[in-house]
Structures are given as structure tokens and as C-alpha cells.
Copies of this chain bind each other. A is one copy, B any other.
């Protein structure tokens, strides 16, 4: 199959395919696909409207992944209801958003435990895994994601969700640093429009493979059939 190397589609050689694209020991991770980013409500506390484009494609992809027996892990930001998790140190993005993307009236509600914004926007199954306590940008930082992956015997992680240029990219860095093989289907992640493509190029240059989800599924199915 092909991948996108610094934005250029080229075939994946055998060594890379063996390392990154074997469905064995692979988990699929969704990042922050919740109503706090994806609701169309004007009160949405941290809107990521482009993320709505991937809700249905991601639902379809996950259904295939489950059928192939791959573990699915949903990582979601959740902050303590009283704001303790950012009391002394409000996140930088909260402070600059009024300048960069404009005032967000309801931003203080973002990811707060007990609000309606924590509802997942994609379909989940009871057998999926949850890492619900993401506090910062990376799915690994101050969570038990690494422990879960290692105890499931996972060596390869497929990252999806939002935002491409922020939490997905940070998780790709952290995953690669921890020696997981990182794969990002470019059609299953969205972020800041003009930074999606650069983020995918960075991933393809430094961290892992950027692919199309359909090609990935076909490759996996072929591996399973002939494996």
C-alpha cells in the first residue's frame, strides 16, 4: 500500500510495512471526539468544527477495526469540576485564543467533569477501552495510556481524532518517543485547517506513517486473510 511521505504519495517498502502496518499488536486510538469540541451548539466550549467531518468516517473505520479484532481506545479530556487541574497554571491556549481565534464565551466549561460536553460524539462500544482523564494536550501525559498499551501487548498505535496540529501531533510525538510505531490516517483527523497538512508532514518525516484509512483497512484485511 501507499503512504504520504512529506506529503507525497509513495509505496511503503517491506521493512516499513512490517514495522508499522502489521495488524498484530495494533491498537486504534481516538482523541477528544467529544461534544466539547464537536457539538454544533453555540455554547460549545472549545469548538473544532472541522472535526465533525470525520465523525461518520471514524464510526465506519472503528466498526471495521473491531471486526478485525483490534482494540479501540477512546482518550478524552476531562478536568475536575472545580477547575483545580488548571488553577495555578491556566493552559496557554486559553490565554491566547482571544487573540488568535477570537473570544469563546463558554471556554471555562471546556472538559469539565459533569458537564454535558463530555458526551462522546462518535459511536462507542462497551468493549472499547477508555482513558477519560486526559488533562493536557498529549494522550500520554499524566494518564495510564502507556500502561494500558503495554499490558495489551500493543506495539503499533493508529491515531485519529482532533486536533491534528495539537493533541494528535503531541500524542504522535509522545508515542514515537516511547517506541510505539505511530500510524495516522490523514482522513480521520482534523484540526486548524491550514495546519493539518503541515502536521501530517511532520508526522511523516519524524514520527511514523501517514496513510489513507481505506488503504490501511484493505492492507490489514489482506494481512489477516493471508497471515
Contact = CB atoms under 8 A, between A and B. Distances in A.
Interface of A: 5-6, 10, 13, 15-16, 19, 80, 82, 84-89, 91-93, 95-96, 99-101, 127, 129, 133, 135-138, 141-144, 146-148, 150-153, 165-166, 169-170, 173-174, 176-179, 181-182, 192, 194-195, 198-199, 201-202, 204-209
A87 B152 contact: yes
Given A88-B152, A169-B173, 10 more contacts: A19-B95, A85-B144, A100-B204, A135-B147, A137-B176, A141-B174, A150-B179, A169-B202, A195-B198, A198-B198
23 contacts: A5-B96, A5-B100, A80-B148, A84-B152, A89-B151, A89-B179, A93-B207, A96-B205, A100-B205, A133-B133, A135-B147, A137-B176, A141-B174, A141-B178, A142-B144, A166-B206, A169-B169, A169-B202, A194-B198, A195-B198, A195-B205, A198-B199, A198-B202
Contacts of A82: 127
Most buried by B among A6, A101, A143, A173: A173
A92 B91 CA distance: 30
Contacts of A141: 174, 177-178
A89 B208 CA distance: 12
A87 B25 CA distance: 14
